[in-house]
Amino acid sequence: MTERNFNSVKRVVVKVGSSSIAYSTGKLNLYQIEGLVRQLSCLHNQGKDVLLVTSGAIGTGAGKLGLAGRPKTIPGKQAAAAVGQGILMHIYEKFFSEYGVTAGQVLLTREDFSDRRRFLNARNTLHALLQYGVIPVINENDTVAVDEIKLGENDTLSALVAGLVDAELLILLSDIQGLYTADPRKDPEASLIREVKEITSDIESLAGGAGSKLGTGGMATKISAARIAAHSGVSTVLACAGEKDIVLKVVAGEQVGTVFLPADNKLENKKQWIAYSAAVCGKILVDEGAATALIKQGKSLLPSGVTGVEGQFEIGSTVCIVGPGNQEIARGITSYSSAEIDQIKGAQTREISRILGYKDYEEVVHRNNLVLNQ
């Protein structure tokens, strides 16, 4: 498969933002939604697995409730989401059924990714829906989410879903053409970047703020999503939802939008989860020698290199590993609790039994359960 030829992909995740499926009034743009559904149905009829991650529940609910914009309070947002999600799904189901395609609603929260068992359950559910020929219509469960509701999380959600189901292509549909060298709404000299091979600090500096009063996701969340997808082996294309047949154009390999190429060092599924999904429960502080062994030599973290521990956590928790200068260098799953690590920090492996009275593991974090910061 060439860098822009996605015809051969078998599984595609498409994310659409609030501003792309609704008017500024909050009322749904039925013409836009129908066009999106038609394209997804066309891909489905080609034999591809298609998953749709859609925003819009809060904006739709706000429109139905006669509000001028998104509610300011968390309870207000949750109430709007409760009203809007049913309306949104009804519209999607209606349009998909007209094209002979079955859609199924899936509502997820960050916890469905951060808990390993729920992560695997979500993966199995989505795979089962795809096997039944269903197009999952996925949204953040904004009616119960609290912290996540304040973020542009559906960009991140779509990238996590792409990794979860081993998709090959993620299409982020927005109200702009792609990633520009500057904000095209302010700088007439801004030019579209067609291809990003690696997300560097220079690329990240191009991100602006949120562009719509109905949406929450700005360019920063899209670049972050592209990074997650890249390390999951997924190509990402950022394109304009309003362009006619944009999804079909992307899959056909046309030069539209910005393509973010997948990283060479794809993370295995478990390490994807550690790096991007698992809830971080604390920190392990390490010295220069341990940091070098982890980064340069791919070693496990031994107690001799640990200088301190922050937070309280149990065996099997995901933690940040922080080097000198308070820089996070890795994340990993611990073999010992925070209390145990505090006792054995700085000790040699052979001393663990003497200090704790037992030695279940030689490593504080084994290299198979550790992911370096990308």
Q: What is the CATH number of domain 11-269?
A: 3.40.1160.10
pTM of the model: 0.82
**Whole-angstrom Cα distance, residue 76 to residue 266?**
40
Q: What is the pLDDT of residues 265-311, one digit of tens each?
A: 777 777 888 888 778 889 999 999 999 999 999 899 999 999 999 99
**pLDDT exceeding 70 applies to what percent of the chain?**
93
Sequence ranges of the domains in the chain: 11-269, 279-372
Residue 209's φ and ψ, nearest 5 degrees, are -90, -175
Q: Which fold has domain 279-372?
A: 2.30.130
Q: 279-372: same fold as 11-269?
A: no
Confidence bin at 1 (pLDDT 50/70/90): very low
Q: What is the pLDDT of residues 310-369, one digit of tens each?
A: 999 999 889 999 999 889 999 999 999 999 999 999 999 999 999 999 998 999 999 989
CA atoms within 13 A on the CB side of 274: 26
Q: What token pair was written down for 102?
A: 């079955």
| CB-based contacts of 93-100 (< 8 A; 24+ apart in sequence) | 93/137, 95/33, 95/34, 95/37, 95/38, 96/37, 96/40, 96/41, 96/135, 99/37, 99/38, 99/41, 100/41
Which CA distances in Å does 324 have to 9, 248, 292?
Answer: 43, 49, 11
3-state class of 183 per DSSP?
coil
